[in-house]
Structure 1
Amino acid sequence: MTVLQPIAETDLSPNDEASRARFEGLVDLLGKPFARGDRYAIFQGDCLDFMSELPDQTIDLSFTSPPYNIGKEYEKIVPIDQYIDWCAKWIGQLHRIATSRGAFVLNVGYVAIEDRARSIPIPYLLWNRIAFFLQQEIVWNYGAGVAARKALSPRNEKLLWYVKDASDYCFNLDDIRDPNVAYPNQKKNGKLRCNTLGKNPSDVWQIAKVTSGANRSSSERTKHPAQFPLDLCDRVIKGFSNKSDLVLDPFAGSGSSLEASALLQRFAIGFEVRKDYCALAAERVRKALSVMPLL
């Protein structure tokens, strides 16, 4: 597992002060948070209610994994058309509040449709309901997962990287390069063939899931049943946002995205309907920052 390295104050963007003012203004606008720190705030409630209060063009990166409508403990299954309409509503709000260079990274899985599909990727149902420009689909591949007897065992989910402006967006390739290069010293015409910082990580990311169970539970495991791995958050936040940017997770869950954002010196806001998950995320972020103080 990658250990997130806090970013030194001396390495911050010159716009850090302006971003802080924007962050503080949004927190004040949203009311009393469930929990907050120097660079993060967690609010308990419906994300649609909170986002309706936010001004246009205020969030640099939204990164989330919504309920999949598959019957997890935090969701109630609704008809598929109703679910897609709901997704279109909150994604529409994310588009409105995204800055002109803003991005939205959506982690989604699969749903079943009676008499049509055992397991259809949610993006197939949403593709024409999203105002963002789809820059790229990223396949998140992992080793552990549920077993299957009458189909191939699922070992991937999708990350959809959306941008507001297809010609002007944030992409920090050097910050997320993969240093594991097979032939780092290979040359052509006397020049190195590969970037000394590493290779492009491609659109297939092999990142371990947060596992549970006796003798196999991940060290970062919490009581949340669907938890983002920090390695995944680290790559998304570094790659698609800049230092001091504002990051929003409308379905904060266990707080992985908030923890990574705060440690990487972004400003983070999270919405979560369940009080127990708010408490879990708040304690997790607080503990991480106390163990790894900002340099």
Structure 2
Amino acid sequence: MQSFGTSARVGYDSSAFYDRKIYAEPEEVEDGSSEENAVPELNRLYAHSSSSMHELPDNSVHLMVTSPPYNVGKDYDEDMSVEEYRRFLTEVWEETYRVLVHGGRACINVANVGRRPYLPLSAFITADMIDVGFLMRGQIIWNKQASAGSSCAWGSWRSPSNPVLRDVHEYILVFSKGDFARQKPECEQKQATIGRDNFLEWTKSVWEFAAESA
């Protein structure tokens, strides 16, 4: 039997790792029901805040993907403090938790912002999602270097004493509700359509593709 952490794709016993105190607290959350409800209407857009998705019943959505407003002065932004901003987003995370099925996924694309100070929005959102009850599944680094320019922060050009980092990445934070797995109903037992090479590439924690102009 190989020890945990071997480089090859071989069988190993990881129980010693998960028995450590860092994993002492149970992570899976009983959210009351694993029964899934049908969405009343497919392929319809609702033009209002996701903090109240009253059109959707509990436990009805399998996947949520979003990139929230960054609160940095865009036309659609409000001028909020960090705490106000986090409360604003948490209302959406709580409503997302309600509508997701047991084992459903939530994926949030976000970038960190600012320099003085540097605001780790990805860390704030991760902490708030866990507080809501989500299970953290991992984070994908979106490497946007292919579309990054050559600009730098004023006053930092070739300054070894106080360089300023240029972010060429964003995050895709991945969470699930209630369980790390999702038992699909028999009616959904369909054959996977993703190929071997795409599966191996897309399950890596770093993605590389150019960004679109906002």
How far is 1:84 from its partner? 0.4
Gapped runs of 5+ residues in structure 1?
A: 1-18, 28-38, 180-196, 212-224, 226-295
Distance 1:176 1:138 in 2: 20
* Residue 169 (structure 2) aligns with: 156
Q: How does 1:59-78 map to 2 (within 5 A)?
A: 59-78=61-80
| Structure ranking higher on relative contact order (CA contacts 8 Å, 6+ apart) | 1
Indicate the SS of the match to 1:140: strand
Task: Report the residue type matching 1:22 in the other structure.
Answer: A
Indicate the SS of the match to 2:38: helix
Greater helix fraction, Structure 1 or Structure 2: 1
How far is 1:158 from its partner? 0.3
Indicate the SS of the match to 1:175: coil
- Based on CA coordinates, which of the two structures has the bigger radius of gyration? 2
Distance 2:201 2:84 in 1: 42
Contact residue 103 and residue 169 of structure 1 kept, 8 A: no
* Residue 101 (structure 1) aligns with: 103
Percent identity of equivalent pairs = 22
* Residue 22 (structure 1) aligns with: 38
Distance 1:160 1:126 in 2: 9
Distance 1:176 1:120 in 2: 38
Indicate the SS of the match to 1:128: helix
* Residue 11 (structure 2) aligns with: none
Distance 2:134 2:90 in 1: 11
How far is 1:152 from its partner? 2.7
Render the CA deviation track for 1:132-173: whole Å, top value 9, x for unaligned. Answer: 101001101112235323323221000001011343148x99
What is the CA RMSD across the aligned residues, in angstroms? 2.9
1:165–1:210 Cα change, 3 Å: same
* Residue 128 (structure 1) aligns with: 127
How far is 1:201 from its partner? 4.2
* Residue 240 (structure 1) aligns with: none
Gapped runs of 5+ residues in structure 2?
A: 1-35, 157-163, 184-190
* Residue 112 (structure 2) aligns with: 110
Which of 26, 40, 45 in structure 2 is aligned with 1:42?
A: 45
Greater strand fraction, Structure 1 or Structure 2: 1
Q: What is the TM-score of this pair, normalised by structure 2?
A: 0.64
* Residue 262 (structure 1) aligns with: none
Task: Report the residue type matching 1:126 in the other structure.
Answer: I
* Residue 27 (structure 2) aligns with: none
* Residue 22 (structure 2) aligns with: none
